[in-house]
A and B are shown apart, each in its own frame.
Chain A
Amino acid sequence: MNGYLDLAHKYQAAHKKRTRLSIFSIVLSVALVVGIFSMLDVFLKFEKIQVINDYGNYHLLVNNATDGEKEAISSRIDVKNTGTLVAFKSGSINGNQCDIVALSDNFAANMSMNLIKGNYPEAENEMMIENWAAEKLGAGIGDTVSFAFADETERPFVISGIFADYGGTKATGEPGVAVSMEAAAKASVEKTGIFLIEFKEQANIKKAEQEIKESLGISDERMGRNDRLLAVIGQSDHKAAVGLYQAGAILFFIVLVAGVVMIYNTFNISVMDRMRSFGLLRCVGASKAQIRRLVKKEGFLLLRWAIPGGVLLGMAATLFCCALLKFYNSYIFSEIPLFTISPTGILAGVALGVLTVAIATLLPAKKASRVSPVNAVTGNSEIRVRKVQQAGILTKLLPVESAMGIGSAAARKKTLVLMSASIALSIMMFLGFNVFVDFLHTSLKTTKPYTPDISLTSEESLSPDLYSQLSHLPGIKHVYGRMFGYVSATFDASRLTEEYVNEVGSIEVNAGGLFEAPEKSWLISYDKNQLKWAKTDLVEGELSEDTLNAQDGIIAVLQNIRKGVSVRTAELHVGDKVYIDTVAGKKPFTVMAVLRTVPFADSNLNLATFITTEKQYTAITGDSTLKIIDIQLEKNGQEETVSEIKRMIGSNITYLDSRQKNSEMNQTFFTMAVFVYGFVVVIALISILNIVSTMNTSVTSKMRYLGVLRAVGMSGKQLNRMITAEASAYCITGAVAGCILGILLQKALITQLLTSLKIVWVFPLVQIVCVFAAALLATRLSVIGPLKKIKAKSISENIGSLQ
């Protein structure tokens, strides 16, 4: 030994197990910080690509920019690329309705308009179309098609190129057409010119926007922003984005606290256990400062191993998330390398690791230095005097071994509080994030049980034969049909939203309070299955085919579709009366359920949306033929099934393929969910490992005492129960506190933020059950190691062990 500080080495060498445990917990917290920073870093990269894919790669836009303005903006030093997009009202191609745009060649890639074959259209009579549309029209490069803008004057156009499918247009069945800029300039129909601007990586976009506005005198109304992209690159001052940044900062802080708590806990226990030896050192003349230095030295010795380990582990976690996403969609994420090293993440991890250890050692070091030399001489220093009468109570209520286990958890008040807090924290995060994921799930319209892969519609009607043929086709999972039509419906005028009243101008109300319906309402029929599936969107009431039929019930939908746009036109509630003009005259119906949305789009100007049963639908409209057949495909052999379906249907039936759109939606959701749940998993892991390490230390430090209990006659089972009771005390307090706080948080989040989306709070029973199952699992897990350790030794060895 060269100096007293070598004691730190000696101690760690003599207590290999405990040292390993401490290293392990530091590794974890460093990994956590590295992982979270890197994950955030990578997440933003992924999300940026996702947003660019979904919304386009531009930051700002100017409506109807003049050439002078374009010139001035393009020549700015911080601008990377600009382009003009001209949007038209829908026209037709070979008699099929189509979406028309024109886009500058150099900006096509920014808007994910990727040429697959041929050339970008240049001449006045050139255009390119989507791949699926080309197949459908049977048109190839060089072919001439008959094309018309919204003015319906047909002109011959040559297809110069074919570009990759857009999920959205594929699902609606309207082909996307991009005409040349020449053609766009010459076309004398209603059009909107949008000037799109992509800035360079480091540009300060907010400032640039201000400068552009001022120097060119462009009004606020003419400027637009790609808020989602700005949010991802951290340059948005949109309210939602700022909220997100704040939430991120809070989460980050929580993770940091969890890491500090964990290391602190390990250190604290280790120092508490050695009060006696510190006392001894003080007896032989160590000063307070020396003890403090000794404990700190110990802490930093641990860092030597823990930092590299943590960095590696954190990188591995990030790698896992990347791999998951890349596996899920290798196409759009192909640019991101599988192994992303984030220097920011690593640096942050190292810095925070050192800082955390510094904080976490400081307090125990102080405590250790305060140990009085007397502690060395009088034995039990760990347990300080409690209220005396408190003692006998537990053993009267519980079997003695459980009482002792809980007692020893309760005796370490600080550990108990820290442990429960860390467990509670992760449960709160889980429950809180759940709201977020739920919200994403509803708002992104990801695939639900009822989302069709393929829909068949027809102006006339679909024959029952086709329906039964499809039901028997191999490769098809579900087939379900719907009828829909437009009926005149009216209800209490006070239920109409202000938004709607403003939109239509004036509403005539008759003496009974009912209004004269200025527009028709959309009526859809659901079969039993569809009613069952709709439960996830139920806001009020009950969905039962039988009651609906028996009591003339009807289902109201909050989000009404007007020309493809969701608008809330009426606030109907259960019990309201709706009067519909049926084939047998005006008839009242009662609202028995209210749904949040329907998963279909419609291009009519609907007053409201109602759902009814097939039987009622026929009674109302006198019609009993299906208008739409939705098909869900099996996972395998989809292409064969699809071509089989195409063969079965005639030319009067429109075939709509929603698979690409669905998977794009899913993907957006998935990218978010992977990272959101990644955070939760990491936090949960910390808590679990925290309790594992606490139990380990707790048992290791009590080896001798446990040996004595065995000598006194405690059986192996009782020992198990005692240790489990101790672990449970931590877990259960944590779980109960976490659930209560988590539920409150959930309720607050939902009522504060999501009421407008008509998401209602329900008791999260499933999650709570999961939480408790996980807590029990953690308890079990945490006692396996320690129990094994005790049982590996004979009782006399345990009693003889130096602790």
Chain B
Amino acid sequence: MNILTVQDLCKTYGAGDTKVEALKNVSFAVSKGEFVSVIGPSGSGKSTLLNMIGALDYPTSGKVIIDGRDIYTMKEEELSVFRRRNIGFVFQAYNLVPELNVEENIALPILLDYKKPDQQYIDELLGILGLAERKRHLPGQLSGGQQQRVAIGRALAAKPAIILADEPTGNLDSKNSRDVINLLKLSVERYRQTLIMITHNQSYASFADRVLSVEDGVVAELGGGAR
């Protein structure tokens, strides 16, 4: 079963002289539980693709279907709800809410849904993320790696079907990076989630089930990773 289908996706920025075709007729599908990594040179359109999949921006043409639903036909309000329940984001910069502590940051998507966070699950997550000792700290009091782990925790909190990660290890050293990737992989396997991750590092790409390469707005399949 395909959890995600991308059909003829095009995105053009600007017009005239400054026109950039960031995505050109991109089509592919991802099935449930897959770990897909996206690689490609800088400026090739990787972030653009991820933004389109997460409906953080609208395409010039084309469709993205997640869990059988065409996300661009949804109204803003509906889309927000859909997003917080089904999609988790991890950004290169950690982008945490500075006023909320670690625990609150992680529970944020659930709180936004006006639900009571499942404390047991949050504690479990904090444990996996190695943040149990730090749960009352504010983001400003954490190291870069810790902040990124909080961001991952936030992406996982609502048990979304898809996790979109844009260079989650970009700011981290190699040990921290490996920890983060392992964490993502662990979670994906444990909760049968789908992960799409952009990375510059070939060796991390090899952790994935599939590798997509983006070059000049065109997406190509590179086949399986290490497995």
Binding site for B on A (CB under 8 A): 378-386, 388-389, 391-392, 395, 399-401, 404, 407-408, 411, 704-705, 707-718, 794-797, 799
B40-79 CB contacts (< 8 Å) to partner A: 47-48, 51, 54-58, 76-77
A720 to chain B, nearest CB (A): 11
Interface size class of B (residues with CB under 8 A): 35 or more
Could you name 30 residue pairs across A and B whose Cβ atoms are closer than 8 Å? A379-B140, A380-B98, A380-B139, A382-B98, A383-B98, A383-B99, A385-B141, A388-B101, A388-B136, A388-B138, A391-B100, A391-B101, A392-B103, A395-B111, A401-B112, A404-B100, A407-B99, A708-B95, A709-B97, A711-B56, A711-B89, A712-B89, A712-B154, A713-B85, A714-B80, A714-B112, A717-B77, A794-B56, A795-B55, A796-B51
> In the bound complex, how far is the Cα of B154 from the Cα of A459, in angstroms?
92
Task: Please name the residue on chain A nearest to B164 by beta carbon.
Answer: A711
> In the bound complex, how far is the Cα of B98 from the Cα of A528, in angstroms?
66
| A407:B100 contact, CB within 8 angstroms | yes
| B95:A715 contact, CB within 8 angstroms | no
Q: At the interface, yes or no: B35 with Cβ under 8 Å from chain A?
A: no
Chain B residue numbers with a CB within 8 Å of A379 are 140
Contact with B112, one of A383, A391, A400 (Cβ below 8 angstroms): A400
Contact with A395, one of B54, B100, B139 (Cβ below 8 angstroms): B100
| B100:A389 contact, CB within 8 angstroms | no
With contact pairs A715-B77, A716-B77 given, residues A400 and B54 touching in the complex (Cβ less than 8 Å): no
B156 to chain A, nearest CB (A): 12
> In the bound complex, how far is the Cα of B108 from the Cα of A770, in angstroms?
37
The listed residue with most A CB atoms (<10 A of its CB), out of B89, B98, B137, is: B98
Contact with B138, one of A385, A708, A717 (Cβ below 8 angstroms): A385
| B56:A795 contact, CB within 8 angstroms | yes
B55 to chain A, nearest CB (A): 8
| A392:B101 contact, CB within 8 angstroms | yes
Chain B residue numbers with a CB within 8 Å of A386 are 138
B110 to chain A, nearest CB (A): 9
B49 to chain A, nearest CB (A): 11
With contact pairs A380-B139, A380-B140 given, residues A712 and B111 touching in the complex (Cβ less than 8 Å): no
| A400:B111 contact, CB within 8 angstroms | yes
Task: Please name the residue on chain A nearest to B95 by beta carbon.
Answer: A708
B123 to chain A, nearest CB (A): 14
Top 6 nearest A-B pairs (CB, nearest first) are: A713-B84, A715-B80, A400-B111, A795-B56, A708-B95, A796-B51
Task: Please name the residue on chain B nearest to A399 by beta carbon.
Answer: B114
B72-127 CB contacts (< 8 Å) to partner A: 76-77, 80-81, 83-85, 87, 89, 91, 95, 97-101, 103-104, 108-109, 111-114
Chain A residue numbers with a CB within 8 Å of B101 are 388, 391-392
| B136:A716 contact, CB within 8 angstroms | no
> In the bound complex, how far is the Cα of B95 from the Cα of A378, in angstroms?
14
B14 to chain A, nearest CB (A): 13
> In the bound complex, how far is the Cα of B125 from the Cα of A762, in angstroms?
59
Chain A residue numbers with a CB within 8 Å of B139 are 380
| A411:B99 contact, CB within 8 angstroms | yes
Contact with B97, one of A404, A710, A716, A718 (Cβ below 8 angstroms): A404
> In the bound complex, how far is the Cα of B76 from the Cα of A797, in angstroms?
16
> In the bound complex, how far is the Cα of B91 from the Cα of A411, in angstroms?
25
Chain B residue numbers with a CB within 8 Å of A705 are 95, 97-98
Known: A388-B101, A799-B91. 5 other contacts (CB 8 A): A391-B104, A392-B136, A408-B99, A711-B83, A715-B112
| B108:A388 contact, CB within 8 angstroms | no
| B138:A713 contact, CB within 8 angstroms | no
A294 to chain B, nearest CB (A): 26
Chain B residue numbers with a CB within 8 Å of A711 are 54, 56, 83, 89, 91
